[in-house]
Amino acid sequence: MNDSMRRAAAILLVILGAVARWWAESGAPASASAHDAMVATIAAARERAAANDARLKPASRFEEGGWIYVHLEGDPGAMGYQHGYLLAPEIEDAFAAVSAGMMRSTKRDWEFFRKAAHEMLGPKIDAEYQQELQGIVEGLRARTGSKLDVDDIVAFNAFEELPDYYVPWLDKQQKTAQAPNLKSPGNCSAFVATGSWTKDGLIVMAHNNWTSYRNGERWRIVFDIAPKNGYRILMDGFPGVIASDDDFGINSDGLMVTETTITQFEGWDPNGKAEFVRARKALQYAGSIDEYTKIMLDGNNGGYANDWLLGDRKTGEIAQLELGLKAHKLWRTKDGVLSGSNWARDPKVLKEDTPQFDPANKESSPNARRARWDELLKENKGKIDVALAEKMLGDHADTAQHKKEANERTLCGHVDASPRGVKEWDWQPYYPGGAVQGKVTDATMAKEMRMMARMGHPCGGDFLAKPFLAAHPEYAWQEPYLRDMKAGPWTEFWSNQAPKE
Ligand SMILES: [Zn+2]
């Protein structure tokens, strides 16, 4: 017998023992409460058996500032098992919220996404990430008895790319009647600065994540990853997903990585490699801007197309990789600032990959925020540091109206306050979405594998679900999943962190 068979046999014995004990104590399963007691006993036995699994030994979890910090360590299968086990309740909860959204927006059932995961994405996933995803399933099942399998988890990991990139491409191919009006997302406000722009001349990187509050309230994991192969990683992330996915991370070889998503992107390559796999691989294995670019381009499927903002703390160089499918471009500098708020700027990418995007419309969310980044960063040239970057992420200046008003055009987005919504992303008026959390680091912190993170709106404002739903019954379908999103404090996290006593 190999190790995993032996483990499975041991777990089975523990469960059988529990059943036998229950049977001896209770006689026949005569009532519903006796049945419930048996189910609870089996669940407790399963959890005890799983908790003794040697794969969990190096892993840990604690909560602080509204975040859940997990340390994962070892070979890919073990790290997956730790991830699935330690975050099992959060994964089941997030899977329910995310899959409901995917099915609703695309008018496709879950079987459709499982098939896409199994046939299109799965076979091209590198062996180590296949093992990690399988490990997540095993850890999850060991902890909760979940019925989710690896196709579910792969489809779930692709939640940023299947519904809004693959499905619209497929609808066009198949000339689907009454196809839903799907738009690629526009996630995030971010910048990376270096040289004469920052206070100490070294790199500063900041990012806030824009998404639906429904998903965003769940985007509260800090992953500290010590893989057997590749570099050490510290990143924010989503329960059950192996990439950061809103993308903010640093690795132990000096790479600093974030991005904002390209608005109104169109295109998909079914023969390409899933974006979530490439993004995770690049953060784990790239030690330079060139290596990062190479990994992201290898098998580019067009999914979740982003403007990647990169820094290499070893050289002080920063870069922007505008990763279209038909076109892409890399800019780099050792003295400058690169910002992002969901717009592409390379003429070829604009023409070929985002044909509907209007870079001249000053009233749109991406362009209004672009103008605000330009003025805010220029005003603060030479003064930018971590504390200032935290403040910038909570900025509420609307350049289209020339006033302070938290809405869809401000760096800290509050689309729930906007009668306009964001039509470029098909976000209707008062859509419950916007900036859901923020992160900042600089070269000195990155060297020590440290970052600052704030859960909730980076300005510190709270979103409350109940009054929102009462005022906006058009979003009643979100009621089972939409929660309060209260802001936490800016909190520092680092690699190998022990929980506070
Ligand atoms: Zn705000």
pLDDT at 19 over 70: no
Instruction: Using the structure block, give the residue that is written with the tokens 């390559």.
Output: 269
Q: What is the mean pLDDT of residues 339-346?
A: 98
The angle subtended at Cα 318 by Cα 317 and Cα 320, nearest 5°, is: 145
**How many A from CA of 198 to the centre of ligand 1?**
24
**How many A from CA of 190 to the centre of ligand 1?**
14
Could you report the per-residue pLDDT of 272-288, keeping only the tens digit for each? 999 999 999 999 999 99
Q: Alpha helices of 145-261 — where are they, by DSSP H? A: 150-157, 167-174, 213-216
Element housing 115 (H / E): helix 110-115
**How many A from CA of 411 to the centre of ligand 1?**
8
**pLDDT reported for residue 30:** 54
Instruction: Using the structure block, give the residue that is written with the tokens 């295109």.
Output: 267
**How many A from CA of 476 to the centre of ligand 1?**
24
Distances (CA, A) of 159 to 118, 215, 241, 386, 484: 14, 11, 9, 31, 22
**pLDDT reported for residue 265:** 97
Could you report the per-residue pLDDT of 139-191, keeping only the tens digit for each? 999 999 999 999 999 999 999 999 999 999 999 999 999 999 998 888 899 99
Residue 409's Cβ-count burial label (10 Å; 0-12, 13-18, 19+) is buried
Element housing 234 (H / E): strand 233-237
Tokens (6 digits) for 42: 């089996």
**How many A from CA of 41 to the centre of ligand 1?**
46
Tokens (6 digits) for 341: 């708020």
**How many A from CA of 220 to the centre of ligand 1?**
17
Predicted TM-score (pTM) of the model is 0.92
205 bridge partner residues: 192, 441
**pLDDT reported for residue 33:** 82
Residue pair 86/61 in contact (Cβ under 8 Å)? The answer is yes
pLDDT at 385 over 50: yes
Task: Indicate the residue type of 176.
Answer: T
Residue pair 454/438 in contact (Cβ under 8 Å)? The answer is yes
To the nearest 10°, report the CA torsion of 29, 33, 35, 39: -150
**How many A from CA of 406 to the centre of ligand 1?**
6
Strands 317-323 and 403-404: unpaired
Residue pair 134/150 in contact (Cβ under 8 Å)? The answer is yes
Helices vs strands, H then E, count in the chain? 16, 17
Instruction: Using the structure block, give the residue that is written with the tokens 């729930």.
Output: 416
In angstroms and rounded to an integer, the radius of gyration of the C-alpha atoms of the chain is 23
Where do the DSSP E strands lie in 41-144? Answer: 60-64, 67-74
Separation between Cα atoms, residue 257 and residue 312, nearest integer Å: 9
What percent of the chain lies above the pLDDT cut of 70?
A: 94
Residue 25's SS3 state is helix
Separation between Cα atoms, residue 187 and residue 412, nearest integer Å: 12
**How many A from CA of 457 to the centre of ligand 1?**
5
User: What DSSP assignment string belongs to 300-332?
Assistant: B--TT-EEEEEEETTTTEEEEEEE-SS-EEEEE
